[in-house]
Amino acid sequence: MNRTDDISSLFSRFGASAGSYHEFESQIDYKENPPAPEPEKAPASPEVAVTTEVVADSAEAPLSEPLVSIEPVASMLEHPVSEPEPEPVPVAEAEQNLAYPVDAQLVPPTSQPLITQPSLTVLPAAPNRLRNLLAEVVQAREVEAQALAEEAVRQEAARGRPAKCKAHVVVVVSLKGGVGKTTLAAGLASRLRLEGGRTLAIDLDPQNALHYQLGVEHGESGIGSLNGAGHSWHDRLQPGFDGALLLAYGVLGDDEHHALTHAMHEDHHWLARQLDHMDLAANDVVLIDTPTGSTASLAQALDVADEVIVVTTADAASFNTLDPIDRLLNAPHARAASSHCTYVVNQFDVSREFSRDMLEVFKRRLGQQLIAVVPLDNTLGEALAYGRNPMSAAEPSPASEGVLQLAEQLKARFKASRAQGVEAQ
């Protein structure tokens, strides 16, 4: 079968005759453009891959004869459709965008003008220089005042020891903490008063606890803050229980504490000079609470003491301090030769057999120097908690009775020493 028979057979199927068939030969030479490279595609799923293969197979099958031919549009292939170009950005805005880069994800699609950050305002340097100059002036003034105070201390030390004050001076000491030294000193301050005289309590202990025991609310200012300031101690006396006048140690800064310690070390009669400026009378009593241990404050207090009361307790630890305190009190020039040294056993628990035995040991060791035994009494701690005076309770406690007996013994000594002074004159 040839081509003519095929055409006749095809026309006969449509009910037509092959005589109406005309074949035209095209005079146009079609030139095909080289195929463009296919873009890379993401890997497809297996189902899509199978479909793609089927389409490819069907596309590869050649047609017997093209029925309709479409002329390709070369211009569309040569110039593909491009995205609209953005509007040109002004130069100033472009520089601003470069100066402040912004994350593209945070910028909304609509174009908005960027807000520039305000620049930091630099303060003029003149106030800073002025403050520095003022600080230098203040510092120079403080240094000059400190130098003048030290020079005054040296001049006072060169004068020698001042005359002994007329008042009776009682110093309460201990080499061991926790024996009730400050509580006993406060009790004596409220009970130890001579007729027509005053009782002054001076706190030389940095713990600054005596004002609590005497019912004085404020104890921030005291001897430390007054040192080298040209103030009199009379200005800072505060009334306490039973009319006692308190001069607190005060709350000291590092510079004040250093200045006070320096003054005590430079002038061994520093406290004697302070008492000399107070114009004390013969019927006045000065009671001094000292810090625990051997300190410069203790040395100053011993220098002016008429009566030294060593507070101890009936236990082994306090017994071991007896020899060291003896050496300290009996050292050359530690205290006046006319002063008396006595001992008080405080917080004595009579219910314990060991305490009773230790008291007998102290009596044998101290002899007549042991002048009082103050019983253990919890009412003293309760009175401190409620801010009451334990010495003026309606019903005297065992401890208050012991303190009262000690005060009466000291008064008798004061009268005896005064009589001896009159006879010596």
Q: Convert the chain into a string of H (helix), E (strand) and C (coil).
A: CCHHHHHHHHHHHCCCCHHHCCCCCCCCCCCCCCCCCCCCCCCCCHHHHHHHHHHHHHHHCCCCCCCCCCCCCHHHHHCCCCCCCCCCCCHHHHHHHHHCCCCCCCCCCCCCCCCCCCCCCCCCCHHHHHHHHHHHHHHHHHHHHHHHHHHHHHHHHHCCCCCCCCCEEEEEECCCCCCCHHHHHHHHHHHCCCCCCCEEEEECCCCCCHHHHCCCCCCCCCHHHHCCCCCCHHHHCEECHHHCEEECCCCCCHHHHHHHHHHHHHCCCHHHHHHHCCCCCCCCEEEEECCCCCCHHHHHHHHHCCEEEEEECCCHHHHCCHHHHHHHHCCCCCCCCCCEEEEEEEEECCCCHHHHHHHHHHHHHHHHHEEEEEECCCHHHHHHHHCCCHHHCCCCCHHHHHHHHHHHHHHHHHHHHHHHHHHHC
Confidence at residue 25, expressed as pLDDT on a 0 to 100 scale = 61
Domains of the chain, residue spans:
151-424
Q: How high is the pLDDT of residue 165?
A: 87
Q: Which pLDDT value is given to residue 233?
A: 84
> According to the model, what pLDDT value does residue 204 have?
95
Give residue 174's pLDDT: 96
For residues 108 and 47, what is the distance between their CA atoms, to the nearest angstrom? 40
pTM value is: 0.63
Residue with token string 């921030």: 220
Tokens 């310690």, residue located: 261
Q: What is 151-424's CATH number, 1.10.1030.10, 3.40.640.10, 3.40.50.300, 3.20.20.210? A: 3.40.50.300
pLDDT mean by block of 10 residues, the chain; 425 residues? 71 72 61 60 49 46 47 45 52 47 49 53 66 90 82 67 89 95 95 93 94 86 64 84 93 86 91 92 96 93 96 96 94 88 97 96 97 93 88 84 94 84 48
pLDDT at 74: 43
Nearest to 202 by CA among 194, 218, 214: 214
pLDDT at 51: 45
- CB distance 308 to 340 below 8 Å: yes
238 touches 248 (CB < 8 A)? yes
- The tokens describing 23, both together, are 């074949």
pLDDT of residue 72: 47
Which pLDDT score, from 0 to 100, does residue 85 have? 54
pLDDT at 81: 47
**Tell me, what's the pLDDT at 8?**
77
Question: What's the farthest any 2 CA atoms get from each other in the chain?
Answer: 179
Q: What is residue 54's predicted lDDT score, i.e. its pLDDT?
A: 43
Q: Cα-flanking dihedrals φ and ψ of residue 269, to 5°? A: -115, 30
Q: Are the beta carbons of 408 and 372 closer than 8 angstroms?
A: no
